[in-house]
Amino acid sequence: MDQQDIAQRLVEIGIALSEERQLPKLLAKVVDHSLNFTNADAASLYVRDRDELEFRFTRNLTLEKRSTDNQFTTFKLPIDSRSVAGYVALNKHTVLIPDVYNRHDSLPFKFDDSFDKRVGYRSQSMLVVPIIDNLGQVLGVLQLINHMHNGEAEAFPEELRRPVEALAGQVAIALRNVVLVDQLALSQRETVYRLCRAAETRDNETGNHIKRISYFAHKLAELRGEDASFRELVFDASPMHDLGKIGIPDAVLLKPGRLTDNERVIMNTHAQLGYDMLAGSDSALLEMGATIAQTHHERWDGTGYPQQLQGMRIPLEGRITALVDVFDALSSPRVYKPAWPLEKVIDYCTEQRGQHFDGELVDTLIENMDDFLAIREEYADEFDEDEGEHSIITPAIKKPLN
């Protein structure tokens, strides 16, 4: 490989890796680019998890050609000198082995031949590099096997050592950025949840209502084929739908029984109030929150509030939230009513096709009812107050979205 090409390719790989915002896809990309860059036959990627290395992704081109089942299961290795990956992570330097079965080095680990035996593969040469970030922390280990030349496995040339270390530097940057952005996005998601849930406590709305709304809305968007950006926004913004209720006096918000017409007018201002609280920022999240707050009580037939928008004039996120908000209210038990039986919920939604709701959304909901019931079950309300909800919320909002 031309040496100028090495620089160019490394940087191209860096750019390709930096595009990827999802960790599993990033790991796959790292392995693919590494195979390609080094002419290796196989590559495995370990990611550090505290004191261990977790085996996260692998490819083996020979086994793929043979259609040998190369389904891998993840496992963890301690960071110590008993394995080559552990050794590399511990000592933070690259190991290059011409033939793992005929070693003349004094490195302390033994080669584990169980994989070769099990699948009938012959590992020979290895190039194993630590993935180290700019603070000197080991983030993982990249293990390359069998440098191919004219169809034969050869030793990895010494000249590949530095370029592969440079590649590992690129991987470190990309990994660190994905983790950083993930943490920020999760922190924002959790912040919205906590603050919206705080607002919901006033009218004794159950803690999991807004969580179900998020998952329902996300699922509907996904079933309609909306893109990831819309799906994530609607997930994060839909909990804000009732934020405007903060501005409704206790006397109206908490009144038992039927509201008078005048009280109803006051109550209905919550849609516009929520919009006013959230609108006018540069944040796409707050903008969608504002739209949802404002439009989640509009009706398909134009008889909703506050703007009497009709049909497709109601933004998709508003139509989605309108449907899932009612669906959740009907199908969940509340203090003042049991959950409706599923058939009755379905009948009601069907009856409201083209009246209250967007008919296509109703169809999607009903055709995929199992998905929605699974969400309802997973985020069912806990009536045991003693348990506290922190332990429930935290893992729930961390679940990766599809």
Positions touching a copy of itself (CB under 8 A) are 3-4, 6-8, 10-12, 14-16, 18-19, 134, 159, 162-163, 165-167, 169-170, 172-173, 176-177, 180-181, 184-188, 190-192, 194-199, 201-202, 240, 243, 246-247, 249-251, 277-286, 388, 390-391, 393-394
The active-site residue out of 245, 255, 337, 398 is 245
Question: What is the rounded distance in angstroms from the CA atom of residue 13 to the CA atom of residue 142?
Answer: 15
Residue found under tokens 């290395």? 53
* C-beta of 79 vs 393, nearer to a copy of itself: 393
- Residue matched to tokens 């952005």: 181
Q: To the nearest whole angstrom, how small is the minimum distance from the Cβ of residue 302 to a copy of itself?
A: 28
Identity of the residue, 4 or 71, whose beta carbon is nearer to a copy of itself in the bound complex: 4
Local structure of 310: helix, strand or coil: coil
Q: Is 302 left (phi over 0), alpha (psi -120 to 50) or beta?
A: left
Alpha carbon separation from 184 to 20, 57, 196, 268, 300 (Å, rounded): 16, 25, 18, 34, 36
* 198 versus 342: smaller Cβ distance to a copy of itself: 198
Shortest Å, Cβ 35 to a copy of itself: 18
Burial class for 368, CB neighbours closer than 10 Å (0-12, 13-18, 19+): middle
H helices of 201-256, in order, are 209-223, 228-237, 250-253
**Known catalytic membership, residue 25:** no
- CB-wise, 9 or 353, nearer to a copy of itself? 9
Cβ-based nearer residue to a copy of itself, 6 or 366: 6
- Give the pairing type, strands 76-78 and 152-154: unpaired
DSSP state of 192: H
Comparing CB distances to a copy of itself, the nearer of 151 and 256 is: 256
Q: CB 9 → a copy of itself: shortest distance, Å? A: 9
Which residue number, 333 or 388, has a Cβ lying nearer to a copy of itself? 388
Angle between helices 342-351 and 369-378 (to 10 degrees): 130
Compute CA 239 distance to the chain's CA centroid, rounded to the nearest angstrom: 18
Q: What is the smallest separation between the CB atom of 286 and a copy of itself, expressed in angstroms?
A: 6
Please, what is the minimum distance in Å from the beta carbon of residue 254 to a copy of itself? Answer: 8
Are 161 and 98 spatial neighbours (Cβ–Cβ below 8 Å)? no
Q: Whole-number minimum distance, CB 178 to a copy of itself, in Å?
A: 10
Q: What is the largest CA-CA distance in the chain?
A: 90
Q: How far apart are CA 347 and CA 318, in angstroms?
A: 22
Q: Alpha helix locations (H) across 39-137? A: 61-65, 84-91, 114-119
Q: Rounded to the nearest whole angstrom, what is the least distance from the CB of residue 276 to a copy of itself in the complex?
A: 8
Cβ proximity of 13 and 33 under 8 Å: yes
The type of residue at 366 is I
Q: How far apart are CA 295 and CA 321, in angstroms?
A: 9
Q: Which residues are catalytic?
A: 245
